[in-house]
Every structure is written in C-alpha cells, then in structure tokens.
Amino acid sequence: MNENKKEITWQEFEAVELRVGTILSAEEFPEARKPAYRITIDFGPEIGVKKSSAQLTGIYTPQELIGKQVIGVVNFPVKQIGPMRSECLVTGFYRTNGSVVLAIPERDVPNGAKLG
C-alpha cells in the first residue's frame, strides 16, 4: 500500500455516491481559473440533472462530450467555482502532460446506476 495514502474502511467507501450520468450540454467556461467546461449531466430520475465544472479541455471538445456517459461523485457539497455552483465531480485520470481522460463505463448503463 502507498504509505502516503490513508486507508479507508468499506463503510467510508460506500458513503461515496459514484453514479453514471449522461452529459446533456458542455460549453466553454472562461471564468474558471484553469481551462474548463461548464457541463450539465443527467444522473437519472432519483438524482436528477446536475452541473459541474470539468477540466477536460486538453482532450475533449464540447461537442464530443454531449451524449457521453461519465462517472461522477454526486454527494459532495456544492462548490462555488467562479460564477457557477458545481454540484458534482466528474471523475477522470491525469496524463503525464496534465490533461484529463474521463472515467467512463465500458458499456451503456442506466443513468443513476451506482458503482459498487
């Protein structure tokens, strides 16, 4: 185990709501400190539609994000990012050049499906 990381319990992991959603819209977010898009994601009828700021500009265009399923954390507190309130965290992996590759389901699943 990496000595720099805190070990968590199964109960702590279960508290993180990782859900699948489909990106409905994506647009430039010039007010963000780091290059980002303002995106809207449908997490299904139980959770609904949420907004997020996502630093995906290194690889993705807004047009190619629309309709893509993503994995997001939906139970973080709302975070103010410039003029918008980010309601979820879109997950991804950093490349060595700093760009982000989305964490996505390998096949289509219903919006709102929980990772577990």
- Please give the average per-residue pLDDT across 82-110, as a whole number: 96
pTM of the model: 0.91
Domains, the chain, ranges and CATH? 17-95 (2.40.50.140)
Containing H/E element for 83? none
> What average pLDDT does the structure give for the chain?
94
Partners of 73 in beta bridges: 18, 89
Task: Report d(CA 25, CA 31) in Å as an integer.
Answer: 17
What is the per-residue pLDDT across 38-55, written as a single tens digit (0 to 9) for each? 999 999 999 999 999 999
pLDDT > 70 fraction of the chain, expressed in percent and rounded: 97
Task: Report d(CA 7, CA 35) in Å as an integer.
Answer: 32
